[in-house]
Structures are given as C-alpha cells and as structure tokens.
Structure 1
C-alpha cells in the first residue's frame, strides 16, 4: 500500500523541486525550466495556501514521501478549487483544476502518481466539485483517462507573458 498524505507548508520546497522536474520533462517547457524567480514565488504561494485550515483549503495537494530520503518527496499531485456561480450542469458551482502531477525519476512506475492523483480526485469528489480539468502530457494521458478524465473543448484561451 502506498502512503499518500496531504501536503503541508514544509513540503513547499520539495513541491517546487518536483514542479521543476515536471517542466524539464515537457518539450515545450524544458528550455524554461531551472532556477528562476518563479521558484521563490511558487514556494511562497504553496506555503501560504497549504497553511489554511482544511475547511478553507483551495489548493489541495497530496504527496508520497521518498522512503530513502527524510524530508524529500517521491511524488505529488496539486490542484486548485474555485467557486464559480452555479449552473445547470454544476449546481454547486465548484470547479477543480489539476496542474502539478510529478514523480521523481528515481521513483517512477511504482503507482505513486496514481495514488496522489486518486487522493486529489477523492478530495474534489468529497466537496461535490462538478468539473475537474487538467492538461495532460502524452505520458500521463492514460493515467488520467483511467481515472475518468476525457475530452472537453475550451474554445478560447488567452495567454500573456509578463517579465
């Protein structure tokens, strides 16, 4: 059995490390990965968002500890919870987004990403989140489909880079 636990503020540096590994593995992001101001900002946001009481948590995060390195993480899954206005297809108006699933290369193919993602989806389900989105890499698509994720069109998107 894989021991998955909710992330705590002290996990923030490791969550940033895993996030960078995720970027390094993405062909469109690999050149941008590595040290940068985004890391300090990410760590500060994680520490802040993981410190709130459970009933007010909006950045659910689940981790598996690295069994060989105390204080290190083997895998994680992070998401956000947003309260939108209710709609016929989502009467509670809760919307989830999964955006940071990563396993340290030395711990891959052991089910850690699945266990973290299942814990995250269960967290969303327990809060009656009507829709959960994610952007899948080709390597993760089979896992997400096996957990019930499918195609959903997003017709328009706007992206800007602020230096």
Structure 2
C-alpha cells in the first residue's frame, strides 16, 4: 500500500462521519509535497468552499496525530469538478452515458488509450466503453491507470441540472 492509499484509509472514517466521500487522494512533489484530497457529498453532489474548509480542518486533525508525511506539506481539499476523474468502480456506473478518456497501465493488443462513450459495467464489474471506430471494449478496473470524464456540452448541461435540484 502506497502513502496515498494509507492516508486515504486513515482519513476515510472521519470524512464518512461528516457525510462526505473521498474521490481521490494524490501526493505530488518531493521537496514540497502537496496532499490533494478530492471529495464530494455522500449523495454524489459537489462540495462548496465551506465543505472544503470543514474537510480540511478534520483531515488536519487526523494528520497531525498520525503524521504520515515527513516534514512540511501543503493540504489541498477540492471538489472533483465537472470533468472529474473516475477513481472508484461505482463511478463507471454512475457516469455511464457520458464521454470518457481512459488510459491503461499496460496496453491491450498494443492499445493503452480509449476515448468514447462510457456504457457502465458488465455483470462481472468490468468497464464497458464504446469508441467511435470499433466495437465496445471491456476493460478491467484494476488495469486502469487514470480515467476522467470529458468536458462536453452534454456533461455541462447535466451538471447545471444537478445544481438546480
């Protein structure tokens, strides 16, 4: 388990108790580390600045006690945004019907990048994506290096509708 995974495991109970879910934990920079926490409300809606401050205070308390990062670091708490990363298996079902970009750790038949319409998950919990040029592809979640929604008019309209609810 790497440091980001350990931190996620460490802070998840605190975040969940407050009604939030972690979307991604990422650490960047060696000399001046930045700990980035992306979170959303448990119901899947976006968080605002006040939510970010609440999460930041609670995470800071846990990190002060556990001290997982040596030396000073910057803590950044944010919403995943409209063109959010897809980091959890459930994200692939939740965001089915939207355009995505998926990059695999290793290629399948020499192909590592897929751009197309997310179809969701099959019965074996594999990711289904339909690319313009060929038949739908089935990808294993554990093979995904990174994935994100593509910013389209359709996604913007869906996000605007969600905010007015």
Find the structure with the greater CA-based Rg: 2
TM over 0.5: no
Structure ranking higher on relative contact order (CA contacts 8 Å, 6+ apart): 1
Q: Which structure has the highest strand share of the two?
A: 2
TM-score (norm 1): 0.28
**TM-score if structure 2 supplies the norm length?**
0.28
